[in-house]
Amino acid sequence: MEPAYRGLGRCICCFWLAVAFDVVGLLVLLIGVFVNVFFYDLLIYAGAIVIFLSLVWWVFWYSGNIEVLASELEDDVGLTKKDKSGIGGAVRRLSNRLAGSIRNSLRRNGGVAAGSLGRQGGERGSAADAAVAPHLEQVVVALATLKPIDRTLQKYDAEMPTTATETSPT
């Protein structure tokens, strides 16, 4: 049995946050208007911005309290059997067929990432290759040690150490 909500509805936290933002924003705005301080314009703008931000909490509270009957949700969430006749049924069948063919194509090729990385021509890999596909391409990075040649001109000469690279079996 669903609990009966009275008064403020389900999203009480959003309601009280909206009220708090409104009260704080109004206080800051009124202080900026009526108190003689040199930064009154900052207080007026800040109060207006806080009141504007309270609208976010009001929208959350309102949308969280919208009630939709289960009979209205049936078509959206698939609770009823879809009608396969008419133009709606034809569009639904076409959409299901197209989505199924794309899904099966991606399964056969090992997904988008595995199909595009490290393969040449028409080569196809196994499922194990698809799992390590991001590691198929290797990037070699050479590091240089810089030492000053002439301190007055601040020029640098790159000393290239010998590097060794490993390649993964593919």
Residue-wise pLDDT tens digits, 72-115: 766 666 555 555 667 877 888 888 888 888 888 877 776 555 44
Tell me the pTM: 0.44
Torsion angle, CA of 111/115/118/119, rounded to 10 degrees?
Answer: 150
Q: Which has more pLDDT, 141 or 150?
A: 141
Q: What is the pLDDT of residue 118?
A: 47
- The single-letter DSSP state of residue 3 is P
Tell me the chain's radius of gyration from C-alpha atoms. 32
